[in-house]
Structure 1
Amino acid sequence: MCTTQEPVIRAWITAHRKSLIIWAVVVGAVIAVVNTMNSMDPGAHRDKDGRVTTAGYEELVSLRSGDCFDSGGHLPSAGTRIMPLTTVKVVPCDRPHDAEAFASIELPAIAPAPNTPPFAEYAHGQCTSQAEAYILDPWSAPEGLRAFYTAEAIKNWGSGDRRMVCYFGLAGSTLTSSLRTDDAALTTEQKAYLKAAGPRGSAVAALPRGPEDLQAKLPAFNACAARAAAATREEIRVLESTPWSPAVGTEITALVAELRKEATVLDGLARTGQAGAFGEYADGTAYNAPLQDAVVQVRRALGLTTES
């Protein structure tokens, strides 16, 4: 994993001055230690499509993508990432809640076992790709939103129970609707842009920030910069090969020019990046300010939010 810190999605957008769509999936093995459900607690009722219609208690690891739930204030903390529950109250998404499952994944037998360092990196990748598809535009995500995962206990891993659930949590706040992007509410151009920008956002978001031991981990961070540079060039390729309306196309052309400059900066970090250079990139002193403006102008032309 390129970075070990626990970023907040919107904080990353701010730190990079809206330069791109940034995903920051914070993952950690969630160790369930308390079961709050007893035999008298009713399970949730669902309609024929699987949507929850009546609140009820279910095991955290059995949640489905799109399930909203109330943790009762027990979301994992930034320091421990431990969820002190095995069951949670699942509710219709228009009812108050503080968390939402966005992926339920059956992992292959070759996946690393839970609660091991290799599994943390593996889960990070699995949840990140699912998160990008669930919320196409992270700029629309609530401030402070984090993403976590929980997996079947190690004792069940060998017997074939390898389900992992990725979920968003918003500690100290209340949600009253689903976080899932309504694909039907987006125009063709909006979807094309968001899908083009998403992978690059994840790659750049994985670069180091803050007080990490950059020098000791520099080779890994150089590799991360190389991946970010490649993702930037892929975004350029997709943007240039997509047909745009005249008004949007003008702004896309300006954005592509700034992305080329950004790719050059990332190439430099990949080849010869030193700890100081990564620090400057992370805190914004080496930031390409016109890129911020170009992204905002594209979003404005597309009718997407320009506030974060």
Structure 2
Amino acid sequence: MSIPPPPGPHQPDPAQGPSPAPDPYGPPPQGQQPYGQQPYGQQPYGQQYGQPYGPPYQAWGQGYSPYARPSSVNGLAVASLVLGVLCCFPAVGLVLGLIALAQIKKKGQSGKGLAIAGSILSSLGLALFVTALATGGFSDAWDEFKKGATEGTAFSVVKGQCFDAPGESLEGLTYDVDEVPCAGEHDGEVFGEFRMTGGSAFPGDSAVSDAADEKCYPLQETYAMDTWALPSDVDVYYFGPTRQSWRLGDREVTCIFGNTDENATLTGSLRADESTLDGSQVALLKSLNALDTVLWEEPEDYPEDDLPGYRTWSRDVHDSLDQQIRALRAHSWPAKADKQVAALVKDMEDARDEWEKAVAAAEDDDVDAFYIHYDKGYEYVDGPSTVTARKALGLATKRPTYDEEGGDGSGERSGGELNV
């Protein structure tokens, strides 16, 4: 009878049946040494064959995973850095940075460098904000912003510039024009500009139109002094601010020449001022235009309905004639035009006497006498002596005509607008 060998450290007891699989992470079974260790004095397996001693697998220390778990980044630190870099809400960025440093220290989070950088940048931004506020830098920046915004909304055109308008129309709404040479065909020619005054509230399209009617026509006579040279189909239009551009500081009204037929264009420049005319031409046109300006201010009602108004206006005409007579006599005219201008001055003197009598008739409430002197005073206007003086100086000689809508001496003129 064979005797079974005694159970060894690596053999189960037959009487106990098969032993369960050992737990690799639990304590070793009773009577056994931990894996990889041998009793004192016993050679490890394989030593006798010359193999080096060592465990067959790498043993890790505590835990189950060889990968270290990194600490989380503080979100407030990231937000502080972003606000500091963007320079927006610097005070908020500084507060977030300080809170982030306290949380990082307490929770052991990462992001300390981000919080410090965000705090520093936010502090610099806050310092710049306070400096700009104290020195008025924000006011200048806002003005520049409004200027840029306005220029983007209401485009810029300058005196003497010719252009084509979108849709080939000078009425309606536009956001841009194309500059073209004045020598060729074009839709409009800029002859002046002025700025409106007012608060932040838009005064309305009618107020812009009234301002243009009041100020564009006088500017016309400084750009196209020889008004007789203007084609009959040319009228005054303008670029005006809109409700939107007014909020951004746009107050510019630009006065332009355009064709009364929206399907037609202009050809060549209409400019006739001191840059294109000689001294004698300018002297004569200044006097004639000054008188025309006063004549355009004639009261709208009939003399019998507003005789006091006509009395005041007649006195203004008399005084203007007196002033222009002295100016024409003081100028040295070229020989080719001396006699012609002298004849014109003589007619102006006769007209001055008639307007003086018209004033006296109005003071006496004599409407019939006023009409007599009123008609005689107007005889010299655009009369033969005016034509011969113009011709001698090389100016236009075709008298302008006015229809009922374009103007008849009552001061009413037509025009149009192009809002921008």
TM-score tier by shorter-chain length is 0.5 to 0.7
Counterpart residue number, 2:383: 292
Counterpart residue number, 1:175: 266
Counterpart residue number, 2:331: 242
Unmatched tracts of structure 1, length 5 or more: 1-57, 76-82
TM superposition shift of 1:202: 2.0
Counterpart residue number, 1:303: 394
Given residue 156 of structure 2, which amino acid in structure 1 is its aligned partner? S
Query: For each residue in 1:152-193, what CA deviation from the matched residue of structure 2 results, as whole angstroms up to 9, or x when unmatched?
Result: 235654764221111112122321222112645422211221
TM superposition shift of 1:223: 3.8
Distance 2:324 2:198 in 1: 33
CA-atom RMSD, angstroms? 3.7
Equivalent residues in 2 for 1:245-256 (5 A)? Answer: 245-256=334-345
> Which one has the largest radius of gyration?
2
Structure 2 residue 279 is the aligned partner of structure 1 residue 188: yes
Query: For each residue in 1:84-127, what CA deviation from the matched residue of structure 2 results, as whole angstroms up to 9, or x when unmatched?
Result: 123353331234223222112233459x945456x666544422
**Which residue of 179, 192, 209 corresponds with 1:91?**
179
Aligned residues: 238
Equivalent residues in 2 for 1:22-41 (5 A)? Answer: none
Indicate if the aligned counterparts of 1:228 and 1:266 stay in contact, CA closer than 8 A: yes
Indicate if the aligned counterparts of 2:154 and 2:250 stay in contact, CA closer than 8 A: no
**Which residue of 230, 251, 258 corresponds with 2:347?**
258
Counterpart residue number, 1:104: 193
TM superposition shift of 1:138: 0.9
TM superposition shift of 1:298: 1.0
Indicate if the aligned counterparts of 1:104 and 1:164 stay in contact, CA closer than 8 A: yes
Indicate if the aligned counterparts of 1:139 and 1:307 stay in contact, CA closer than 8 A: yes
TM superposition shift of 1:291: 6.2
Equivalent residues in 2 for 1:42-191 (5 A)? Answer: 62-71=156-165, 72=167, 74-75=169-170, 83-87=171-175, 89-92=177-180, 93-109=182-198, 113=203, 115=205, 122-154=211-243, 157=246, 160-172=249-261, 173-181=264-272, 183-191=274-282
Counterpart residue number, 1:202: 293
Distance 1:276 1:87 in 2: 55
The 3-state SS of whatever aligns with 2:185 is coil
Distance 1:98 1:279 in 2: 43
Indicate if the aligned counterparts of 1:69 and 1:88 stay in contact, CA closer than 8 A: no
Q: 1:164 to 1:247 in 2, by over 3 A?
A: same
The 3-state SS of whatever aligns with 1:87 is coil
Q: 1:62 to 1:100 in 2, by over 3 A?
A: same
Distance 1:120 1:267 in 2: 36
Distance 1:94 1:291 in 2: 30
Unmatched tracts of structure 2, length 5 or more: 1-151, 400-420
Query: For each residue in 1:112-150, what CA deviation from the matched residue of structure 2 results, as whole angstroms up to 9, or x when unmatched?
Result: 945456x66654442233211111111111112211334
Q: 1:281 to 1:159 in 2, by over 3 A?
A: farther
Higher relative contact order (CA 8 A, sep 6+): 1
TM superposition shift of 1:221: 5.0
Distance 1:156 1:253 in 2: 52
Given residue 169 of structure 2, which amino acid in structure 1 is its aligned partner? H
The 3-state SS of whatever aligns with 1:167 is strand
Distance 1:275 1:150 in 2: 43
Distance 1:291 1:97 in 2: 31
Q: 1:258 to 1:274 in 2, by over 3 A?
A: same
TM-score (norm 1): 0.62
Q: 1:268 to 1:107 in 2, by over 3 A?
A: farther
Counterpart residue number, 1:51: none
Distance 1:175 1:242 in 2: 35
The 3-state SS of whatever aligns with 2:192 is strand
Distance 1:114 1:262 in 2: 43
Indicate if the aligned counterparts of 1:196 and 1:238 stay in contact, CA closer than 8 A: yes
Q: 1:127 to 1:219 in 2, by over 3 A?
A: farther
Indicate if the aligned counterparts of 2:225 and 2:273 stay in contact, CA closer than 8 A: no
